[in-house]
């Protein structure tokens, strides 16, 4: 066996896309992992099923009104249940060797911070937390003696080929981007795109929010900021390259001209397995990569005119302070408005830019400031949407 001791795992957001992929890996490896807590937002049926299947100790639903339903679904088992926002935060604080952070958006910030504070191995999918809380979050990781392992495929790739012992020898990191479903669309065509068209990603099957972020390419913008906090490189050394086949997951360039990359088929179970088994490796059911079958890999420079979110994220990375916090909050609100058919596709970046132009980008003093700025930016974004 690849493992010696059984490791305990909690999964925040087990009912989502990353969550289900994680549950799949845990179910295939019952000797390697025991399961503590699983959490979901509203889907109590799936949550209860997962908890029974994995013999979890506890299941937590964010929506308090669903407590009774969860309780009855789990009656006759010895799985404890709880509901509400505080119970989700407690799920992060509950002891476990590994905490998989797979809630979408800043809703995941508090429970993920709990994992950092108690020194867990935090397998981080929830990139918004790192974008929003930035250096304050990595400081909590340090203070708590936690280990942060990225699950985002690009960052997992970089983590696997980044020489942390010879940081000076790294000249740049290159995040590859599929370009999303609208890679070849004109601005005119994008104007009319519906939520259904935006969430139909060519290579990856993901949650609605990140799928829309891929279509605007804000996802790559968030990932630039995520990379800045995960890897000791200056912001200018973080580059984006469009690579529609999503085979090369990202690259690190060294001063001697060497470029190291990690490749694989587009299946999130590979980076999730990497994080769960770290520092070892476990097998994952991902399809084997056959470059001979693929034949051709192509690359393009990103287009910041058609994808202004990339420009906005670059500016926020350079401005620092609360700029990424504001950008992330405004983007979450704008994406929800687009999915709710209140605004058009191109309005997403417009809303984000307007909220950023209003200012309020001062340095972040502490985590309370992050929560306050996030809340305020959400109100401002809602007001901008009302005026559109």
Residue from the set 206, 240, 326, 361 that interacts with ligand NAD by CB under 6 A: 206
Part in contact with ligand NAD (CB under 6 A); list of ranges 2-10, 191-199, 202-210, 340-348: 202-210
At 200, list the tokens: 């139909």
> Which does residue 266 touch among ligand NAD, Mg ion, none (CB within 5 to 8 A, set by kind)?
none
Specify the DSSP element, H or E, that contains 277.
helix 269-277
Nearer to ligand NAD, 8 or 126 (CB): 126
Relative orientation angle of helices 218-230 and 323-339, to the nearest 10 degrees:
150
Residue from the set 25, 38, 51, 62 that interacts with ligand NAD by CB under 6 A: 62
Encoded one letter per residue, x for contact with Mg ion by CB under 5 A and - for no contact, window 95-114 reads --------------------
- Taking 3-state DSSP, the helix, strand and coil percentages for the chain, each rounded to the nearest 5, stand at 50, 15, 35
Taking the alpha carbons at both ends of the chain, their separation in whole angstroms is 58
Nearer to ligand NAD, 57 or 269 (CB): 269
Part in contact with Mg ion (CB under 5 A); list of ranges 52-60, 152-160, 269-277, 317-325: 152-160
Instruction: Return all residues near 73 (Cβ < 8 A) that are at least 6 apart.
Output: 44, 45, 48
Q: Which of these, 284, 282, 285, 283, lies nearest to 4 by C-alpha position?
A: 282
The alpha helices in 29-172, defined as continuous H runs, are 44-53, 67-73, 85-93, 109-117, 127-144, 153-161
Nearer to ligand NAD, 233 or 336 (CB): 336
Part in contact with Mg ion (CB under 5 A); list of ranges 14-22, 76-84, 151-159, 315-323: 151-159
Backbone angles phi, psi at 126, to 5 degrees: -70, 80
* 181 near ligand NAD, judged by CB under 6 A: no
Would you tell me which residues interact with Mg ion (CB under 5 A)? 152-154
Binding site for ligand NAD (CB under 6 A): 13-19, 40-41, 62, 88, 102-104, 107, 125-128, 152, 204, 206-207, 209-210, 268
């Amino acid at each position: 066996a690849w493992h010696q001791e059984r490791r305990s795992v909690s999964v925040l957001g087990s009912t989502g896309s990353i969550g289900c992929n994680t549950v799949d890996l845990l179910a295939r490896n019952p000797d390697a992992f025991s399961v503590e807590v699983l959490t979901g937002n509203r889907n109590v049926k799936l949550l209860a099923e997962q908890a029974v299947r994995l013999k979890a100790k506890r299941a937590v639903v964010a929506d308090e009104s669903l407590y009774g339903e969860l309780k009855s679904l789990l009656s006759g088992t010895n799985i404890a249940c709880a509901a509400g926002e505080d119970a989700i935060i407690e799920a992060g604080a509950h002891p476990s060797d590994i905490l998989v952070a797979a809630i979408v958006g800043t809703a995941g910030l508090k429970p993920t911070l709990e994992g950092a504070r108690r020194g867990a191995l935090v397998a981080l999918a929830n990139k918004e937390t790192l974008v929003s809380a930035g250096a304050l979050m990595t400081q909590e990781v340090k203070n708590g003696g936690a280990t942060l392992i990225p699950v985002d495929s690009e960052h997992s790739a970089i983590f696997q080929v980044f020489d942390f012992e010879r940081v000076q020898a790294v000249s740049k990191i290159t995040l590859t981007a599929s370009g999303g479903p609208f890679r070849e669309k004109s601005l005119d065509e994008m104007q009319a795109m519906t939520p259904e068209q935006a969430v139909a990603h060519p290579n990856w099957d993901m949650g609605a929010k990140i799928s829309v972020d891929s279509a605007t390419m804000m996802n790559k913008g968030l990932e630039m900021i995520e990379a800045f906090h995960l890897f000791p490189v200056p912001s200018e050394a973080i580059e984006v390259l469009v690579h529609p086949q999503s085979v090369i997951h990202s690259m690190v360039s060294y001063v001697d001209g060497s470029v190291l990359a990690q490749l694989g088929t587009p299946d999130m179970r590979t980076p999730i397995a990497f994080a769960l088994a770290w520092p070892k490796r476990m097998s994952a059911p991902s399809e084997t990569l056959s470059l001979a079958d693929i034949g051709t890999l192509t690359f393009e420079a990103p287009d910041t005119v058609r994808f202004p979110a990339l420009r906005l994220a670059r500016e926020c990375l350079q401005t620092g302070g609360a700029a990424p916090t504001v950008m992330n909050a405004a983007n979450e609100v704008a994406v929800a408005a687009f999915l709710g058919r209140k605004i058009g596709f191109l309005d997403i970046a417009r809303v984000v830019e307007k909220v950023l132009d209003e200012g309020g980008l001062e340095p972040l003093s502490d985590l309370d400031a992050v929560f306050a700025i996030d809340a305020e930016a959400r109100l401002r974004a809602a007001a901008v949407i009302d005026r559109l």
